[in-house]
Chains A and B, each alone.
Chain A
Amino acid sequence: MQAFTTLQGLVCPLDRANVDTDAIIPKQFLKSIKRSGFGPNLFDEWRYLDHGEPGMDNSKRTVNPDFVLNFPRYQGAQVLLARENFGCGSSREHAPWALDDHGFRVVIAPSFADIFFNNCYKNGLLPIVLPAEVVDQLFQETAASEGYRLTVDLAAQTVTTPSGASFGFDVTAHRKHCLLNGLDEIGLTLNHADKIKAFEAQRRVEQPWLFS
């Protein structure tokens, strides 16, 4: 997994609540058996005016000029600013894969859906929860100033605005450690293989019907 330490990134504002993972990456692109290549189809139904299917040459499609991701001022954005309950719905990890493939490294919102939130950490994408009024302020500042960038420091657990205002955010020690170091979580877990084996052996004795 790619590590995440600090980032100073351009901010793209997506001003909608309850953005679901079907919207982030529509179902037809889930037929891929790969982890990469989802970026061009991120928010496909909002981003293009025509219907997208896997295998199409996306450079030849009709772009929706009214969708924020297509605004020239937000090209190259690495921080996605969003509203409540971002990433709700389907468990598809293709959603963080598509955000990452497009170039986003951070998503900031007042709240996230649980499965999406968890999936982000497995892919070096940092989801940050900030209070609704702070997110509101960031939306206003992003709109007011072209080229608006935020500085995110995972070690310090802070988001800092261009004017120097700084906001702290929560992250569990385990997730922070894995993300800062880009660790393979399976490898870490297998350090406890003996414990898992012992637990399993005990369970097999106590509840044999679970192992038939």
Chain B
Amino acid sequence: MAQTLYDKLWHSHVVHEEADGTVLLYIDRHLVHEVTSPQAFEGLKLAGRKPWRISSIVATADHNTPTDHWDEGIKDPISRQQVETLDANIREVGALAYFPFKDQRQGIVHVVGPENGATLPGMTVVCGDSHTSTHGAFACLAHGIGTSEVEHVMATQTLTAKKSKAMLVRVDGQLGRGVTAKDIALAVIGRIGTAGGTGYAIEFGGAAIRALSMEGRMTLCNMAIEAGARAGMVAVDQITIDYLQGRPFSPKGEVWDQAVAHWRTLVSDEGASFDALVELDAGSIAPQVTWGTSPEMVVTVADRVPDPANETDPTRKSGMERALAYMGLQANTPISEIPVDKVFIGSCTNSRIEDLRAAAAVARGHKKAANVKAVLVVPGSGLVKAQAEAEGLDKVFVEAGFEWREPGCSMCLAMNADRLEPGERCASTSNRNFEGRQGQGGRTHLVSPEMAAAAAIAGHFVDVRTFA
């Protein structure tokens, strides 16, 4: 019978199945960071259990690490304790690889895994972080887990799980200039809503997806969770294989050939059936800007802020009113007339080299607008930072008045010192515009790197397609 990619990934990892369909799913790769692991390591120790397979673990510190003045260390004592706790736990337990604070390969866990070849097609990949869906770009079954499950994976190399339904999001046609994977992600969420993918694993397919680089596919799968789907995935093709060749943990020699032959089978079979289908035409997608406090509250840059008066559902209507009040916006305001106070270019969604190249191409030869207080450019990892500097992108940003920072999660969730002040409005390439996400009272608008750079220069949102 024709199988979906998700069927193949699922069935190839089932160790044991109970009568109610609950299975023990084998886990190949366990990514670990400092925020969601300390209680798991402690639980393991208290129960006197040993980790099952330490060579499955790749760890880094990313959420709490500062993005400037690294010579001064981590000033916040509670943040420092959490990072030092990870240091101590990995020292005691071990790992395939650990990229601690200040290591040249340190960075956001979802950037570090793929760029080191630690994320390989056909793997199950888990991490105590919802954006683990990112790794599905490599035809992995990848999803976020809670801390109890982090402990469960460490102790048993498995998870208890039930199979989700399968959704195909097919994006055919060709993206226009200045329209990116981020805009596809936001357009999909705008279409199906933040709960539209709940209970599903999403496969992204179609000509526009096949045309995306691995960076673009990671951006798209990263935001599957924002559509409610724990896992997003893209089938293997030559772009996948070319990306992986020569990475530190990628297979080498004969084993590489053997691996590639297997990876090429990681596609949905012709005629495989999905439980749901969503179709978009890439050519009709315009640059997206969120206006509210949920990623589904999104319009195009040419639109106006929606009016709750036009909403009939009472829960949705009150949600819109609350969002507008929080965001300090009037209904019907043109998006292009909304000024921004800060700009953030970074996060596990958009901090890879391609994202920085795109932002730099817009910023080159311009200066940030006077009303924009700060523009933070935070590369996803030390390797991304080094690559960007080798290409001179750092100079482009600095000449435009942007700040070139050290790698980390930074102002995506503001666990470190990078944050919005109450009432500040930010054009952000991150993934969540929830209340308080980038700092209490902060107002987040999600956009692509190109759109963020253009907003920094114009001082307000502007259609990057017509931006000189």
Contact = CB atoms under 8 A, between A and B. Distances in A.
B421 to A, nearest CB: 11
Interface string A20-47: 1011001110111111000000000100
B415 A27 contact: yes
Interface string B21-37: 11010101000000110
Given A33-B85, A186-B156, A200 B145 contact: no
B49 to A, nearest CB: 7
A111 B315 CA distance: 14
B306 interface: no
B160 interface: yes
Given A22-B436, A186-B156, A207-B259, A114 B147 contact: no
B262 A207 contact: yes
Which of A16, A84, A118, A173 is most buried by chain B, counting CB atoms within 10 A of its CB?
Answer: A118
A60 interface: no
B129 interface: yes
Nearest to A35: B39
Interface string B417-432: 0000000000000001
Interface stretch (A86-94, A98-106, A140-148, A152-160): A86-94
B315 A31 contact: no
B79 interface: yes
B15 A119 contact: no
Contact of A17 (B15, B35, B319): B319
B82 A196 contact: no
B106 interface: no
Interface stretch (B167-175, B194-202, B447-455): B194-202
Interface in A174-211: 174-175, 184-186, 189-190, 192-193, 195-196, 199-200, 203, 207-211
A113 interface: yes
B243 interface: no
B82 A31 contact: yes
Contacts of B162: 172
Contacts of A185: 148, 152, 160
A32 B84 CA distance: 12
B43 to A, nearest CB: 8
Interface string A109-151: 0011111001100110000000000000000000000000000
A93 B156 contact: no
Nearest to A203: B26
B39 A34 contact: yes
B332 interface: no
Contacts of A123: 148
Interface stretch (B120-128, B348-356, B380-388, B391-399): B120-128
Contacts of B432: 20, 22, 89-90
A173 B19 contact: yes
Contacts of B68: none
A174 B18 contact: yes
B interface secondary structure, majority = loop
Contacts of A8: none
A32 B77 CA distance: 11
Contacts, number: 193
A131 B260 CA distance: 47
B42 interface: yes
A59 interface: no
B65 interface: no
Contacts of B164: 114
Contacts of A199: 15, 26
Most buried by B among A31, A96, A207: A31
B148 A84 contact: no
Interface string B57-70: 00000011000000
Nearest to A54: B78
Contacts of B82: 31, 33
Contact of A84 (B24, B157, B158, B195): B195
Contact of A173 (B18, B39, B413, B436): B18
B155 A23 contact: no
B78 A111 contact: no
Nearest to A173: B20
Contact of B437 (A22, A88, A114, A173): A22
A6 interface: no
A192 B157 CA distance: 11
Contact of A18 (B122, B194, B251): B194
A110 B21 CA distance: 23
A211 B55 contact: yes
Interface in B196-228: 198-199, 225, 228
A193 B155 CA distance: 10
Interface of A: 15-18, 20, 22-23, 26-28, 30-35, 45, 51, 54-55, 83-85, 88-93, 96, 111-115, 118-119, 122-123, 172-175, 184-186, 189-190, 192-193, 195-196, 199-200, 203, 207-212
7 contacts: A18-B296, A31-B79, A118-B146, A186-B47, A196-B157, A203-B26, A208-B255
Interface of B: 15-16, 18-22, 24, 26, 28, 35-36, 38-39, 42, 47, 49, 52-53, 55, 63-64, 76, 78-79, 81-82, 85, 120, 122-123, 128-130, 132, 143-149, 151-152, 155-158, 160, 162, 164, 194-195, 198-199, 225, 228-230, 249, 251, 255-256, 258-259, 262, 294, 296, 315-316, 318-319, 322, 413-415, 432, 434-437, 440
